[in-house]
Structure formats: structure tokens, C-alpha cells
């Protein structure tokens, strides 16, 4: 299995190309490309997205990195019109075209938060179906994530939602930290999903209090059980680390050493996955 990491912290620190170079130098196989610019859901500049995508593709090829999954911006709100006339919606569609150019297969798209009185399930069903033609046009899949404080904190509801979308365009992204924050051990959440629905993962650790995005083994999760659960559910994607916060406090000189540690953890998981799979 390939080992990847979200590129956002390193693009912020070193710039697009040097951030990708750092990821390669640390020993990763590829990236989870983040379309977020500031960690708050605002998108990168997409005013010239095709040229930007070609540039990123060139960097990926230069450093021998793959990009099989990406994270869309999460700037859309319930007040946004779901049409290309709306900039936030148009930017979302642009990320699909961008993803297709860099060879990315899955784009994680957050559901839209609604006031309590609104029908979350019905609204977001319509939202994802509105995006479906654009995903098909650009040949990418849309992954629905188990966000905290959404109805998708329950694995049976997320599985049902994806089944009812009734299209090969859709799959699930399991964020193990989010499961922990909702009181469900990640292995229980994963095993609660229908087989074959999980398209990608966000692996990071937490103390169970807030969304820490720590490196594995810095928090309280049982990683051996998590890896085993992914094997049991037939997961075939990348070992993707969504480790962000530890890098914030580190000086530039310590970025690469810690990044190498995270890569080694990912390789350890990949080897565990292979051993468990072969033993089935």
C-alpha cells in the first residue's frame, strides 16, 4: 500500500514545490492534496485553476509522488446557491477539474451544515446529487466524510446515505479522529460500515476532546485494531495521514525529521496491513 500525507502544512510553510519535495524527502509515496488555503475551509486561488493544476502535476511528476485523493474546500454554506453562478460552488467544481489534471481519483467533499430545523439528510442528498454530473464529467469520485456533529457520526447512516445516492461516483471517507470525538472507537466505526464503501481515510490521533490531528501514537486510539478493521472491511486505498497540528509549533529545522517519523508510522501501518491481509 502507498503511504500519503495531506500537503497543507508544508505548502503553508515552504510553498507548493518545496512542500512537495519535503514530503518526498521524508519517504512518502504521495499526497492528499488539500484545496484549503488557510485551514478554515477557504480555497486556494482557483482563478487560473487549469494552469495551476498543470504546475502541481509537474511538481508531482518531478518528485515521483502520487495523488489519489484530495480534500475540497469547505466554504459552502446553506445560504449558497448550488449553481456555477455562485463562486463557492464554482470553486468546488473547479477542484474536480484540478483533481483530474493531477491524476487524483477521489475528492473528499464535506456535507453542508444546516440550522437544526432544516432536514440535513434531504438537503445534503440534493447537494451531492447536484455535484454528481461534474464529478462524472471530470472522472473523479466524491467521498462523504463522517463529520463531527453531523448525522454521519453513525456508520449505518453514512452507509445508508451513500447507498441511496446510488452511484459509483460516491464513497465514504472515514476520519478516525472524528469517530473518537463522537465516542466511537475507530475500529467500531469502520466495522459498522458496509463492505466496499470506504474509499479513503484520514488517519490521525486525538485525546478524544478536540480534533487534534496528532500523529498516531500521540493520542489514545488503538491503532492495531484500526488497521485490522480496515483489512476486515476490504479497504484498498492509501495509508493516508492527516497529521497537521504537530507541525505548527516546529521550527523549519525540525519539520523534516518529524515528517520522516510520520512516514515511518505510515510504512509500519502498510506492513501491518499486508501481514494481516495475507493471513486472512
CA–CA distances in Å: residue 7 to residues 46, 69, 83, 103, 252: 17, 11, 29, 16, 15
Task: Assign 16 a pLDDT band (cuts: 50, 70, 90).
Answer: very high
Q: 3-279 maps to which CATH number?
A: 3.20.20.150
What is the average per-residue pLDDT within 142-156?
96
Q: Return the pLDDT at 252.
A: 94
* CB neighbour list of residue 138: distance below 8 Å, 6 or more residues apart: 96, 97, 99, 100
Q: Return the pLDDT at 280.
A: 62
For residues 156 and 121, is the Cβ–Cβ distance under 8 A?
A: no
| Distance in angstroms (rounded) separating the CA atoms of residues 223 and 172 | 20
Q: Is the pLDDT of residue 35 over 90?
A: yes
Q: Is the pLDDT of residue 132 over 80?
A: yes
Among 6-20, 34-48, 240-254, the minimum mean pLDDT is found in 34-48
For residues 105 and 200, is the Cβ–Cβ distance under 8 A?
A: no
Residue with cell 448525522: 151
For residues 202 and 174, is the Cβ–Cβ distance under 8 A?
A: yes
Task: Give the rounded percent of residues in the chain with a pLDDT score beyond 70.
Answer: 100
Q: Is the pLDDT of residue 115 over 70?
A: yes
Q: Mean pLDDT, the chain, as a whole number?
A: 96
Task: Assign 76 a pLDDT band (cuts: 50, 70, 90).
Answer: very high
pTM equals 0.97
The pLDDT tens digits of the residues spanning 36-72 come to 987 777 899 999 999 999 999 999 999 999 999 999 9
| Distance in angstroms (rounded) separating the CA atoms of residues 197 and 152 | 14
Domain boundaries, the chain: 3-279
Q: For residue 104, what is its C-alpha cell?
A: 487524483
Amino acid at each position: 500500500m502507498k503511504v500519503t500525507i495531506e500537503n497543507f502544512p508544508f505548502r503553508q510553510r515552504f510553498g507548493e514545490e518545496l512542500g512537495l519535495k519535503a514530503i518526498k524527502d521524508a519517504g512518502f509515496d504521495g499526497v492528499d492534496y488539500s484545496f484549503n488555503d488557510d485551514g478554515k475551509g477557504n480555497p486556494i486561488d482557483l482563478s487560473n485553476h487549469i494552469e495551476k493544476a498543470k504546475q502541481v502535476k509537474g511538481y508531482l511528476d518531478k518528485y515521483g509522488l502520487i495523488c489519489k485523493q484530495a480534500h475540497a474546500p469547505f466554504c459552502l454554506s446553506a445560504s449558497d446557491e448550488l449553481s456555477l453562478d455562485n463562486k463557492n460552488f464554482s470553486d468546488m467544481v473547479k477542484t474536480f477539474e484540478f483533481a483530474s489534471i493531477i491524476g487524483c481519483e477521489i475528492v473528499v467533499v464535506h456535507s453542508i451544515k444546516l440550522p437544526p430545523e432544516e432536514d440535513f439528510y434531504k438537503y445534503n442528498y440534493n447537494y451531492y446529487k447536484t455535484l454528481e454530473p461534474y464529478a462524472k464529467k471530470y472522472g473523479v469520485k466524491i467521498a462523504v466524510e463522517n463529520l463531527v456533529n453531523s448525522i454521519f457520526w453513525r456508520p449505518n447512516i453514512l452507509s445508508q446515505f451513500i447507498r441511496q445516492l446510488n452511484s459509483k461516483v460516491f464513497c465514504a471517507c472515514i476520519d478516525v479522529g472524528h469517530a473518537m470525538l463522537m465516542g466511537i472507537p475507530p475500529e467500531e466505526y469502520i466495522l459498522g460500515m458496509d463492505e466496499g464503501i470506504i474509499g479513503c481515510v484520514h488517519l490521525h490521533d486525538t485525546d478524544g476532546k478536540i480534533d487534534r490531528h496528532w500523529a498516531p501514537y500521540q493520542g489514545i486510539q488503538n491503532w492495531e485494531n484500526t488497521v485490522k478493521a480496515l483489512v476486515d472491511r476490504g479497504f484498498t486505498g492509501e495509508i493516508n495521514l492527516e497529521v497537521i497540528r504537530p507541525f505548527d509549533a516546529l521550527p523549519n529545522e525540525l519539520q523534516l525529521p518529524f515528517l520522516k517519523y510520520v512516514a515511518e508510522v505510515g510504512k509500519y501501518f502498510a506492513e501491518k496491513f499486508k501481514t494481516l491481509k495475507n493471513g486472512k
